Copies of this chain bind each other. A is one copy, B any other.
């Protein structure tokens, strides 16, 4: 009875897959926040090394992964692909449920896939320090690990609500040698302004991004790194889907439906894009489901419009599904999904009908995660519970229709650092939050005019 499909190190992909090469309609240009003209490399070079700026706008289908990066990937890649046989049985579904498990990385999520790449390219261009933000802490820990491997200093601005909910994440960043700061903080102009207005601010990813961007510009020989949203980040994550495709091929399977959770969009892109690219090239169709929390419903209730990536309006303007850069979601537990915007490419694909978004409430996704844990052993991260919920719903639809669907989802991380959320769930302290159209409309009224 086959449960998991493992590959040897030789099967770590040799290229990142860049879906820009296969899109039928071009992406909208990124605009300068001041002039509102399309940005060029010079506009981005204060924040990113040239190689990553090149990848951000590349139209090449494949980008070779340097050996130095692949050597670090060997620490945890290829990640296993599992068949969730116990869960299938518990659901009494004719569907086959496969999941790719990224929690075997040292920091417990898919985030090192891009952290290692970003640290490497910065190091190669002589950068000595990086700044970044983190929500749940998965990204901050992953970049801290990557910076330790390449000898780069790191400041991480961590959304205050998560900083307090997840002290172990802070300890992990410090174990790798990084400096972790609760955001909003006194260490940036934008942080000081927000604290002056709202001293009790629990922070948001948008604010933390503003702080990290400001710090990278003011500190010497320092660049900024982002853990999701941008094209090059999504491209790095495609090693997930490439491996999954090889693993499924080795057992003569191919998915009908692919499910991932979406905060900034990178883990979803990572599992889905290699399959979607194949479909686009061959004019075939594949069902893609992007699952988001109903408490931060950028894809299901947001607007597809130009907006800032951060709260302070320091980043370029990108066309994406957004709730408005001043939207501060409630402190629900899936911190990694608590972002007002969405990756431009994922937004573009939703807008063009290639990806179907769904939203679920916090209590429903924790219930799904616990059913998964009791059957499959792994306790998922709150973010990953959304993907679990989406996969379960897909399996139940297959049961309803009697179809032998093959479902693949990305279990992007384990919940070892998120157990307080489970304690809160057991103690009845978790609540659901949904926003009225009026509330969403209010938040959206502040969108910049372009």
Interface residues, chain A, with chain B CB atoms under 8 Å away: 1-4, 6-9, 71, 74-76, 82, 86, 104-108, 145, 148-149, 167-172, 174-177, 370, 373-374, 376-379, 414, 416-417, 419-420, 422-423, 426
A422 touches B175 (CB 8 A): yes
* Closest-CB distance, A447 to chain B (whole angstroms): 40
* Contact between chains at B74 and A4 (CB < 8 Å): yes
The CA of A379 and the CA of B177, in the complex, are separated in Å by: 12
Whether A378 lies near B426 (C-beta < 8 A) is no
**Inter-subunit contact A373/B3 (CB<8 Å):** no
Q: Please tell me which one of the listed residues B76, B148, B377, B416 contacts residue A168 in the complex, with CB atoms under 8 A apart.
A: B416
Given contacts A2-B9, A3-B75, contact A104 B106 (CB under 8 A): no
Which of chain B's residues have a CB closer than 8 A to the CB of A423? 167, 170-171, 174
Question: Could you say which residues of chain B place their CB within 8 Å of the CB of A1?
Answer: 71, 74
Query: Is B374 within 8 A of A171, CB to CB?
Result: no
Neighbouring B residues of A376 by C-beta, 8 Å:
75, 106
Chain B residue numbers with a CB within 8 Å of A426 are: 171, 174
Task: Check A374/B176 contact, CB under 8 A, given A6-B8, A74-B1, A379-B106.
Answer: yes
Residues of B within 8 A of A104 (CB): 104
What's the Cα separation between A7 and B5 when bound, in Å? 10
Roughly how many angstroms separate A435 CA and B214 CA in the complex, as a whole number? 53
B6 close to A6 (CB less than 8 A): yes
Known: A175-B370, A175-B373. A378 touches B6 (CB 8 A): no
CA distance A414 to B417 in the complex (A): 12
Let me know if A172 and B379 touch, CB within 8 A.
Answer: yes
Could you jot down 30 A-B contacts, CB within 8 Å? Answer: A2-B74, A3-B9, A3-B75, A4-B9, A4-B74, A4-B75, A6-B6, A75-B82, A75-B376, A106-B376, A106-B377, A106-B379, A107-B377, A145-B377, A149-B377, A167-B420, A168-B168, A168-B417, A171-B419, A171-B420, A171-B423, A172-B379, A172-B419, A174-B422, A174-B426, A175-B379, A175-B419, A176-B374, A177-B374, A417-B419
Greatest chain B CB density within 10 A among A6, A82, A170, A171 is at: A171
- B9 near A148 (CB under 8 angstroms)? no
Question: What chain B residues lie within 8 Å of A170 (beta carbons)?
Answer: 423
Interface hub of A76, A104, A175 (most chain B Cβ within 10 A) = A175
Q: Specify which chain B residues have a CB less than 8 angstroms from the CB of A82 in the assembled complex.
A: 75
Contacts of A420 in B (CB 8 A): 167-168, 171
For A171, list chain B residues within 8 Å (CB).
419-420, 422-423, 426
Q: Are A74 and B416 in contact (CB under 8 A)?
A: no
The 3 tightest CB contacts between A and B, nearest first, are A106-B377, A168-B419, A3-B74
Min distance, Cβ A205 to any Cβ of chain B, angstroms = 22
Residues in B whose Cβ lies below 8 Å from that of A9: 2-4
Given contacts A2-B9, A370-B175, contact A377 B75 (CB under 8 A): yes
Provide the residues of chain B in CB contact with A145, threshold 8 Å: 377
Alpha-carbon distance between A195 and B159 when the two chains are bound, in angstroms: 42
Chain B residue at smallest Cβ distance from A171: B419
Residue on B with the closest CB to A103?
B104
Question: Once bound together, how far apart are the Cα atoms of A400 and B115, in whole Å?
Answer: 37
Report the Cα distance A177→B7, complex, angstroms.
33
Note all chain B residues with C-beta closer than 8 A to A177: 374
Shortest Cβ gap from A83 to chain B (Å): 10
How far, in whole Å, are A148 and B372 apart by their CA atoms in the complex? Answer: 11
A378 touches B106 (CB 8 A): yes
